[in-house]
Amino acid sequence: MQRRYESNKIRNGFTLIELLIVIAVIAVLVAILIPNVRSFRTEANKARAQGDLDTLKKAVLLYISKYDQLPDTLDRLTTVGDATSRLISKVPYDPFEPSSNKHPNHPKYPYSRYQNLTTQFTNFAIYSYGPGKTSDLKWNDSSTLKRQAQGLDDIIATEARIED
């Protein structure tokens, strides 16, 4: 008996070299995309923080016009009257707060008030720590916000003037 070998046999599958080339190309694409995805997430968090702060600022201004005073805390905006007269349903959390990864119930945006007793001028600021996750905002005696260091990336919602 004679065996015949077919030299025109169709190959099934890929060679090892072809598989390694495909894996290398995918690895290069992933290495290029990962930094871009991180920056997209940061930009999305900035937009979310700005939208949240604008909503909170409007709710505080509405509270001031309704009760002629600043709320003690941001939680006061959710507990005014019954459910139909609340200014907001819940206080959102700051996506950039330094300890937000450690706490299951994320911390809310920092809220500070300034009241000059001699002029009876009262102002407020609601802010996010920003991507740098640090903030050093202080009130001046003239009821303006002062940044203590240059280049801070805080996201601020306030009616006060901000000095650099």
With bands split at pLDDT 50, 70 and 90, how would you rate the model's confidence at 94? confident
What pLDDT score does 83 carry?
60
SS3 93: strand
Average pLDDT over residues 79-88: 72
Put the strands of the sheet holding 145-147 in their side by side order. 137-139, 145-147, 162-163
Residue 150 has pLDDT above 80, yes or no: no
Residues forming a β-bridge with 163: 146
Average pLDDT over residues 76-83: 75
Domains of the chain, residue spans: 16-163
What pLDDT score does 132 carry?
78
Using one digit for the tens of pLDDT, what is the confidence trace for 102-135?
555 557 888 888 877 666 677 888 888 888 777 7
Cα–Cα distance for residue pair 58/71, rounded to 1 Å: 13
Backbone angles phi, psi at 77, to 5 degrees: -70, -25
